[in-house]
Chain A
Amino acid sequence: MKKNLGIFLILVSIMLITFLIGWLKEGETSFLEGGNLTVLLKRTSLFGVLSIGVAFVIITGGIDLSIGSVVGLTGVLLPFFITPPDNGGMDMPVPLALFLIFIISLSIGLTHGLLITKLKLQPFVVTLCGLFVYRGISRVVTKDANQGFGIGFKGIKSMAKGKFQVGPESWEFFLPAPFLILIVIGIIAAIYLNLTVYGRYLLALGRNEIAARFSGIKTDNMTISAYVFSSLLAGFGGILWACDVGSIQPSGFGNFYELYAIAGAVLGGCSLRGGEGTILGVIFGSAILVCLQNAINILGISSQLEFAVIGLAILIGVIVDEVIKRVAAKRRAIQNALQAKLESG
């Protein structure tokens, strides 16, 4: 938690600042009211699932640019599989559809991992090609027709739309189902990363692959597993997003989500050089992005400025982070020098 205290404070302050600006300028208090907080939690969870996935890849020193397209593909496939034929669908039973999507996501991750470890292709290139290919497949399969569930399929939709009331009714605050899903995934991921040997192998190989290999670790398998996690979570995220939005444009659904996911992971303390990152930090990182996006609309800032504000905020965050790290490193160096002096008498 100590590591994540900084990012947590940033998150809280963004929320407070947004609230204060809104309140003082226009008497608008809804940012911190139940309804909006519920939406924030839900969106954080939807992005968080993707960010956790990509965090594993980033920890190995790689990158996954295909996430948005995988979200698009599974998001398109779910309604395509389960809706009736007059809707352009295949009328498949839901469990079968979910199973197929699981297999597809798994194969995507496996393919990435094998190409990267066995053929030694660069992760950037492999997943960039994935970004194009999966987007193309989504569009071909659906012939570019919008996919959706209409008003039916309440059951599966509740995965994203379900919510549980917390506190008195007047608060209008609910725990959205995706948040519970995020917590479960987050806990599993955190245990895996911090408490099992596999997590430690990922951290070790991300920083020094040779050291890991010379320690007898099957680094290729570990790297492949990271890409599989990323694609699986992206595939699952695609299902959640599809259930939440209910309307999926094959050409646009999930566009840029890989960049949001990567930005969330980096804000949350993952180093693109590998070997660093915490699950909690990544979740906070996603929350910051979601809050910024929401703040822009709540404060009535022009939609045209949206990307610029988010980009600047992340850039500033990363710059400040880097500066602080350098100061800390300098301080450590001085301490080490002092220590060495003491030892040498």
Chain B
Amino acid sequence: MKRALLLCAVLSLTLSFGCDGKKGGSSSGDGNKDQLTVAFITNGPADFWKYANAGCRKAEKDFGIKVEYMIPSGGDSADQQRLLEVCLNKSSIKGVAVSPLDPDNQQDILNEVAAKKPVLCHDSDAPNSDRAFYLGTNNYMAGREAGKLVREALPDGGTIMVFVGKLDVLNAQERRQGVIDELAGKPVEKKFTIDKNFSGEVKLGKWTILDTRTDQASETDAKRNAVDALTKYPDLNCMVGLWGYNPPACLAAVKDAGKTDQVKIIGFDEYDATLQAIVDGEIYATVIQQPFEFGYQSVKYLKALIEGDKSVIPAGGVLDIPHTVVNKDNVQKVWDNLKKQKASADE
């Protein structure tokens, strides 16, 4: 009995310590009980999400809203489901923005939450669920942008290798298809088809994609793939890295082989190593998403939905947050801005 009481005292201390220790980037709750609260759920504890958190923080200030920023610490669906269940039952949370890890299989819980409060998907869509709409980067268009960069870098044509983590993930397929379609010179259409034959050579006029290599999301394997490619195709002209860690891995391999002048690297996302290499002129360019906008826009649109304004729902249920190209000309500006965002998320 005494033990229980003692433990309670200590526990309440621990918990209340936790409550005050909100610096870690949760809410900036100023104790206003009537303040509108929404939840923003990521798909794991990646660096990428810090920019989204910064967007949430800015939206908090701009719209007078409170945002609960939730990370599934284990980075898997079971953890994400736990957070969704909290959002479902915690009555002060009036709306939820989530990046579903496994859209097809998470429909049950997404629908359950959507039945009680507005839900929107960011970063990754669950089109068959009852979410209000999706906002994020159109990966196919981002892929086409990368294709444009390849045309720019190799105006006289050449050989290309594509590197990615896994090809059974939708964004990888879409990005790859975007690159192919752009190089083939296809017109941009709403409906595009993904060629599921991922391996082997693809001839596209002046350009040839020699092969697409996957590394199962392992950075060491990513580098090994790049090294192997350079050995097999010593005259390779270009490498395209579809996932964030691919461009730095490609660069490392190219540097080891002393072929920085021969091989142009085009990548995605904003890894510091990638940005630095653009500054140094070793990577041609990278296509980045705008995670800051994911956070900011999610909060903005959730507020509207909660207030009953259905008109904000975009046609087709998809709101495109456009990608940006980072090259030698704008890299310093973009990078400074990203640093600022990261710092504001850590406040």
Contact = CB atoms under 8 A, between A and B. Distances in A.
Interface stretch (B72-80, B227-235, B333-341): B72-80
Contact of A25 (B31, B45, B88, B91): B31
Contacts of A215: none
Contact of B89 (A39, A293, A303, A320): A39
A325 to B, nearest CB: 9
A9 B4 contact: yes
A246 B106 contact: yes
Interface in A6-40: 6-7, 9-10, 13-14, 17-18, 21, 25-30, 33, 35-36, 39
Sorted nearest first, the 10 A-B pairs with minimum C-beta distance are A148-B105, A247-B105, A302-B24, A9-B4, A247-B102, A252-B76, A247-B77, A35-B89, A13-B8, A302-B26
Looking at B2, B19, B23, B92, which has the most chain A CB atoms within 10 Å of its CB?
B19
6 contacts: A9-B1, A17-B11, A252-B76, A293-B82, A298-B86, A300-B68
A29 B92 CA distance: 9
Given A6-B1, A297-B86, A303-B71, A26 B92 contact: yes
A304 B102 contact: no
A316 B76 contact: no
B76 A303 contact: no
A316 B105 CA distance: 39
Nearest to B86: A297
B70 A146 contact: no
A95 B71 CA distance: 37
Contact of A300 (B26, B73, B89, B216): B26
Residue picked from A245, A249, A324, most chain B C-beta under 10 Å: A245
Given A246-B77, A294-B86, A297-B86, 4 more contacts: A29-B91, A36-B90, A246-B106, A301-B19
Contacts of B12: 13, 17, 21
B108 A246 contact: yes
Contact of B31 (A26, A245, A299): A26
A14 to B, nearest CB: 6
B81 A316 contact: no
Nearest to A312: B14
Contacts of A150: 104-105, 107
Nearest to A248: B77
Interface residues of B, number: 60
A28 B91 contact: yes
Given A245-B77, A305-B21, A145 B168 contact: yes
Nearest to A157: B108
Nearest to A29: B91
Contacts of B25: 302, 304
Interface in A232-275: 241, 244-249, 252-256
Contacts of B1: 5-6, 9
Contacts of A253: 76-78
Interface of A: 5-7, 9-10, 13-14, 17-18, 21, 25-30, 33, 35-36, 39, 43, 144-151, 157, 161, 241, 244-249, 252-256, 293-307, 309, 312-313, 316-317, 320-321, 324
Nearest to A242: B78
Contact of B14 (A9, A30, A294, A309): A309
B24 A161 contact: no
Contact of B11 (A26, A244, A298, A316): A316
A299 B74 contact: no
Given A150-B105, A297-B70, A303-B26, A21 B82 contact: no
B83 interface: yes
Contact of B2 (A27, A303, A324): A324
Given A293-B82, A302-B25, A28 B92 contact: yes
Interface string B125-153: 00010000000000000000000000000
Contact of B106 (A36, A247, A294): A247
B206 interface: no
Interface in B8-29: 8, 10-12, 14-16, 18-19, 21-27, 29
A245 B8 contact: no
Interface string B266-307: 000000000000000000000000000000000000000000
A26 B33 contact: yes
B77 A13 contact: no
